[in-house]
Structure 1
Amino acid sequence: MPDPDTAPDQARDQAPEPTDRAPRLPKALYERELFRLQAELVTMQEWIRAEGKRLVVIFEGRDAAGKGSTIKRVTQYLNPRVARIAALPAPSDRERTQWYFQRYVAQLPAAGEIVLFDRSWYNRAGVERVMGYCTPDEYHRFLHQCPIFERMLVEDGIILRKYWFSVSDAEQEARFRSRLADPMRQWKLSPMDLESITQWEEYSRAKDQMLVHTDIPEAPWWVVDNDDKRRSRIDMIHHLLSTVPYVPVERPAVVLPERPASKGYVRPPRDSQRYVPDHSSTLE
């Protein structure tokens, strides 16, 4: 089956030219640096937990731009009780009558928590704008309110980071085709994903307008060039770590207690309980 994480790059972003791009990062080097950065993410997590900080990381970008796979690497070794992913479905009929940001506010972290938004309130500036799911008034109201909303978050002490994952049109199409050929990932292809091919320029214009109105000093956008997934993951995680002022937190030493002597407990007969069938033995 095609593996988009290991297959050679089939396209490069429009700028710079392909000859200006670094070669694909060797797998061994990538895995070594990724593991080092993931260890630093655990250190950052412990600082956030111990200091009661709140971190929000927004992952936005085109379909098949690699947001989900990057989030997977970020959270791989983190405590799910500290770091969680917010990936909201389409709003319900009731939610459509609420203030637009309301359902996202409910997902914000409490003290000592990290929330990673796999798409966020910026749906309104992207897919809703392009596909006509919001009115022009709702769209312009979002562009006006979003910087105000984010300034309020930052003023309240939330650490807010925003990443836009960029991918070239040729690379996006190549990833779509690889999903078509992979039954394990066909679920990632939706009619909305396929629409993004025919609406490429409209999404580009929407993204440009979004950056103009919402790239603010308190919460700037950072663009991740993601034609090479290995390099982009390394670059994005390194940047996140470099912008959070964490320090190592000393944890108390953990000592395993001595196991106490038996007090006469007898385990019930094996045939008195249901065990899952021994499928693994059939593989040998």
Structure 2
Amino acid sequence: MADDEAAKLPRKVYEQELLRLQTELVKLQGWVRAEGARLVVIFEGRDAAGKGGTIKRVAEHLNPRSARIVALPKPTERERTQWYFQRYVEQLPAAGEIVLLDRSWYNRAGVEHVMGFCTKEEHQRFLRQCPIFERMLVEDGILLRKYWFSVSDAVQQERFRRRLEDPLRRWKLSPMDLESLTRWEAYSRAKDDMLVHTDVSEAPWYVVESDDKRRARLNMIAHLLGSVPYHEVPPPFLELPERPASTGYQRPPRDLQTYVPDHAATL
């Protein structure tokens, strides 16, 4: 699918459906909290595939006290000596929590493998251990959902170009991202190998076509909602109390405090 205006979902349709789906996500979170469920959602895919924007829309209206976005930096020297999955285990949810993994333990199947940041033996060990690890999570009751955002090479390159020219998004682009352009086939082989080993019935992969970001966001959120047997949990009844009568309090003079200048008045 071409990433041009003609192929995109109309903005009005997109925004209306996104709002409806986000309302359902709030209901899903209410169910997770009420049932003491544990939900982990993995977002993987090539650089500029639309993972970050989708995560932002998923989390936008959720209560951050029980919904966390986890985007781990590269491991420390100490973490490099640990069992590979160890630092991810620390991020798993407790009862009533949702964790959104902006990249995950699958770094070892992708960038670490392609860029030579792990050995061949470590990569093969990961492919053997990962299905076992995920089966253990699911057996323990964790709801695990894995999404791979698929983007074409032409669209990825165009998104990189836009980031390079946009000062507000320039930070999203790194030398590692640009290197991925020259290793497209290597990343493709790594992804194919990863799916062969880790697309298991207990924790299947779901591929999201993401050349059109609007469609990708709606499709992913709708699928997530449809995959969890949630229902609306009525919120506790709340009523605004009457404001009590004044007891004589007087606010201190305004000139005793330092106020932020009214920048808006200069516009």
TM-score strictly above 0.5: yes
Give 2:130's match in structure 1, choosing from 146, 158, 162. 146
CA RMSD of aligned residues (A): 1.2
1:9 aligned onto 2:10: no
Q: Conserved in 2, the CA contact under 8 Å of 1:10 and 1:174? A: no
The residue number in structure 1 matching 2:206 is 222
The residue number in structure 1 matching 2:158 is 174
Q: Conserved in 2, the CA contact under 8 Å of 1:10 and 1:170? A: no
Q: Identity of paired residues, percent? A: 74
The residue number in structure 2 matching 1:45 is 29
Hey, what's the Cα distance between the residues in 2 that align with 1:176 and 1:252? 47
The residue number in structure 2 matching 1:54 is 38
The 5 A counterparts of 1:189-204 are: 189-204=173-188
The 5 A counterparts of 1:240-259 are: 240-259=224-243
Deviation at 1:262, TM superposition (A): 1.1
1:273 aligned onto 2:267: no
Deviation at 1:24, TM superposition (A): 2.2
The 5 A counterparts of 1:73-92 are: 73-92=57-76
1:209 aligned onto 2:203: no
The residue number in structure 2 matching 1:237 is 221
- Scaled by the length of structure 2, the TM-score of the pair is 0.98
Hey, what's the Cα distance between the residues in 1 that align with 2:26 and 2:4? 34
- Per-residue CA deviation, residues 42-101 of structure 1 (Å, 9 max, x unaligned), is 000000011110000000000000000000110111110111100000000000000000
Hey, what's the Cα distance between the residues in 1 that align with 2:87 and 2:236? 38
Q: Conserved in 2, the CA contact under 8 Å of 1:10 and 1:171? A: no
Give 1:111's match in structure 2, choosing from 95, 116, 136. 95
Deviation at 1:23, TM superposition (A): 3.7
- Name stretches of at least 5 consecutive residues in structure 1 with no aligned partner: 1-7, 12-21
Q: Conserved in 2, the CA contact under 8 Å of 1:56 and 1:108? A: yes
- Scaled by the length of structure 1, the TM-score of the pair is 0.92
- SS, match of residue 85 in structure 1: strand
Q: Aligned letter for 2:57? A: R
Give 2:118's match in structure 1, choosing from 134, 139, 142. 134
Hey, what's the Cα distance between the residues in 1 that align with 2:9 and 2:183? 31
Q: Aligned letter for 1:223? A: V
- SS, match of residue 77 in structure 2: coil
Aligned residues: 266
Deviation at 1:10, TM superposition (A): 4.6
- Name stretches of at least 5 consecutive residues in structure 2 with no aligned partner: none
